[in-house]
Structure 1
Amino acid sequence: MSSEEDFAVLVKDEQWGTLEEITKATITLQKQYDQLISEHNELCKLRDEQRDLAEQFRQRSEKLAVSLEEDKRDRDTKSEAQKVRRDCLLEEEVQLQKEIQMVEVALGEQEVEYGHLKQQTELSAAVPERKVVFNGLTEDIASAQMFAMRSRIVYPMEGGTVLVTFEDQTVAEKILAMKQHTVCLGGDCRIIVEAKPVQLLVPSFVEMDTQVCPHRILISSLPKKDSDRILDKLEIHFSKKQHGGGEVEECDTLHDPGNVVITFMEDNVARRLTDQQYHDVSFEKGSKHRVRVTPFLNGGIVNFKTEFAACARTLLLTGLHDVMDPETLQDLLEIHFQKAINGGGEVEAFLYNPPGERFSAVFEDEQPAAGSVSAQTST
């Protein structure tokens, strides 16, 4: 067999592979060999350096042996210094441990605050969309209120009293300053009534805590259709698992028009639906309407403070007796306090509660920013 045949057999041998594979393997082995040679040279260099260092250390040890006695005298001093240093390091370690604990506590507080902020973000996103118009009126940020609240207070009246609300606050102050008033009822008949301020216990601070309800969702952006039909369609749509829903326990319309609350039997259904936010619901055959699904918020008052406030334009008149027909007496009293000669002025509301009767007056805060209270009377 010739050399060419031997070469052909070697190339086709499956144990060694093709010529190209052998060449690649040879190159790889050459690189590995070069790398080993380089590492060997480096190790030799390091060995020589270590030998030099060993020689230097040997020479130094000989020199140190000469001064061993002197070093022995200094050893105790150095040992004491090392002990002091060790104690300082131990104190630093204790201090660092305390700082680590403080940092961990701070991180825990940050996590709690982050969770609170995350919840607030979810609550902010849970408000139904509503179009608003800005009229261009602005207010000083320093005097802006954090929470606008409109008071509505039911005030029980005693028999033989009158609540009178004047249009002008100055008139009310003048009547209150005069205190007693003589009212002519016709002929020689007169009665004396006394004007007193009306003190109301009004809320001054209200703090509420809101949480996302795990069972309910709030649906807004609904079409203008019959409410019963809308409730039926919504219940059908959100009870199907293919829409991400579940078994519906209750479906109600809120007092705020255009909003519906759906209550589910399971907890995770509400969260799953609010993650998508917008849903296409079929209210009519062949067409769909996009509604917005947001979390339903459960709220409760956690802090409530009250204070006494005097009504700015409303006074209480006492000392009335059953001397004539109640309607006639009320007309005569209202006429008396409307006349400027008697210190009165224009009357906005007037309520007379005859002796033996029980009326109630409803007070509402018409201008919360100014803090003035007016009266709206009702039986």
Structure 2
Amino acid sequence: MKPKQSDFFTEPQHRRQQITFTMSSDEDFSLVMPQPSEETLESIKALINNCKKKHEQLIQDQEDLATCRNDQQEMAEQFRQRTVHLTQKRKEDQRLYEEQMENDKAKLKLGQQEERDLEEQILQVEEAIEEEKARNHHLKQQNDVFSAVPERKVAFTGLTGKDSDGQEFDMETNIVYPMEGGTAFITFEEEVVASNILKMQKHEVKVGEDCRITVEARPVHLMLPRLVEIDSKVSSQHILISSLPKMEIEPLLNKLEIHFSKTKHGGGEVEKCEMLPDSWTVTLTFVKNDIAKGLIETEHHDVKLQAKMHRVRVTPFLNGKITNLQTKMTACPRTVLLTGIPTIMDRETLQDVLEIHFQRSCHGGGEVVAFLYNPLGQHTSAVFGGAPKNTDKETE
């Protein structure tokens, strides 16, 4: 603090020095200083001492202020450094917080994905359970069907043997092969003869004294089933009726249709009634789906046949559906396709000429089992498989 100016010059009025001016007539003047008194000197000394003390006090205050200022500056620097440190720490905390948030988001996303995967697995398991239930139900139905098949007496006339001696299930196929005009199928008794005919490829056939034709032999490829899978299920509209007496078919079908069409017998409106003559079993088809099940559960029914009550047996009817069919291309080992046959005479005569030619060993032929010729401009189909030889048919 700056001392006030009045602090240095304020004195009591009675201590002030008086200066006397003396002037003469010739306008000269002289300055007369008053003589200092003892009391005045002491006052001045005291005033000087007082001023020294105040000066010392001011110097001390100035030093204190400088010290305080240095302290404040040091404190301000400490606060500044702390502020910088806190700012850096806040930024680091913000970065760590953002990283933690990203990690939490990633964990949340991963958890959600795992939850979706678990839900999908649960759905797959539930679907598998439903499929297993459906399969068990289907197997139960098949078991019920197999245990409730119509009874039929069978006489075993074969020989017993080991399990390894048993034959595998086989299936005969009938393949309809449409023929082009001017071609013929020839089937030999031996495979080697067909192979020789195919190796020679071109064959010159004499059809008259001065007439010859050239035909070409080609292999015959057929598409045969390699694997057939059939899915069967119990029909909700059909029933099988067995344990029937021997009588005329028409009256039998009429009696059964009348009996099972009545609601008091558990039946309903009948759509179709037909006989399976190979097993003497009748299939009955209802219009509605909910009738067959009740009749099958009852199983045995008393029906008036031939003027008396006869107990018949009602069992399930299976519907089959092909679910898997795999085929393979197979070359016929004994059959050859002849092409390039011109129409130069009637069909039967030309067919005999060709068959005679390929029966002769001098032409590389052999014993002919079947021969079918299709002239130009006509449509003929050949049947390969288990059908008899005379089933080769011709259509206009």
Q: TM-score when scaled to structure 1? A: 0.63
Larger Cα-atom Rg: 2
1:313 to 334, 341, 353: 334
Cα distance in 2 for partners of 1:193, 1:224 equals: 58
Q: Name the counterpart of 1:331.
A: 352
Equivalent residues of 1:361, 1:375 under 8 A apart: no
Label 1:355 to 1:249 Cα distance change in 2 as closer, same or farther (>3 A). Answer: closer
Equivalent residues of 1:151, 1:364 under 8 A apart: yes
Please, which runs of 5 or more residues in structure 2 have no aligned partner?
1-117
2:242 to 203, 220, 227: 220
SS of alignment partner, residue 344 of structure 2: coil
Label 1:326 to 1:263 Cα distance change in 2 as closer, same or farther (>3 A). Answer: closer
State the 1:320 CA deviation. 0.8
State the 1:217 CA deviation. 0.7
Cα distance in 1 for partners of 2:219, 2:324 equals: 29
Please, which runs of 5 or more residues in structure 1 have no aligned partner?
1-96, 367-372
Equivalent residues of 2:224, 2:329 under 8 A apart: yes
Equivalent residues of 1:248, 1:262 under 8 A apart: yes
Q: Name the counterpart of 1:169.
A: 191
Q: Name the counterpart of 1:118.
A: 140
Cα distance in 2 for partners of 1:204, 1:224 equals: 41
2:297 to 268, 275, 282: 275
Label 1:145 to 1:139 Cα distance change in 2 as closer, same or farther (>3 A). Answer: farther
SS of alignment partner, residue 268 of structure 2: coil
Q: Name the counterpart of 1:9.
A: none
Label 1:113 to 1:356 Cα distance change in 2 as closer, same or farther (>3 A). Answer: closer
Cα distance in 2 for partners of 1:374, 1:232 equals: 40
State the 1:137 CA deviation. 7.5
Q: Name the counterpart of 1:351.
A: 372
Cα distance in 1 for partners of 2:367, 2:300 equals: 55
1:196 lines up with 2:242 in the alignment:
no
Deviations 1:46-82 (A, max 9, x none): xxxxxxxxxxxxxxxxxxxxxxxxxxxxxxxxxxxxx
Equivalent residues of 2:145, 2:315 under 8 A apart: no
Q: Name the counterpart of 1:235.
A: 257
1:136 to 138, 159, 183: 159
- The percent of aligned pairs where both chains have the same amino acid is 51
Cα distance in 2 for partners of 1:140, 1:197 equals: 39
Q: Name the counterpart of 1:377.
A: 392
Equivalent residues of 1:364, 1:375 under 8 A apart: no
Moved over 6 A (4+): 137-140
SS of alignment partner, residue 275 of structure 1: helix
Cα distance in 2 for partners of 1:118, 1:344 equals: 58
Task: State the superposition RMSD in angstroms.
Answer: 3.3
Q: Name the counterpart of 2:266.
A: 244
Equivalent residues of 2:194, 2:333 under 8 A apart: yes
State the 1:126 CA deviation. 5.4
Label 1:247 to 1:188 Cα distance change in 2 as closer, same or farther (>3 A). Answer: closer
Give the number of equivalent residue pairs. 275
Deviations 1:201-221 (A, max 9, x none): 222222222221112211123
SS of alignment partner, residue 150 of structure 2: coil
Deviations 1:205-264 (A, max 9, x none): 222222211122111232222221011110122233443323333323346452222222
Deviations 1:113-136 (A, max 9, x none): 422321221342454333444423
Q: TM-score when scaled to structure 2? A: 0.61
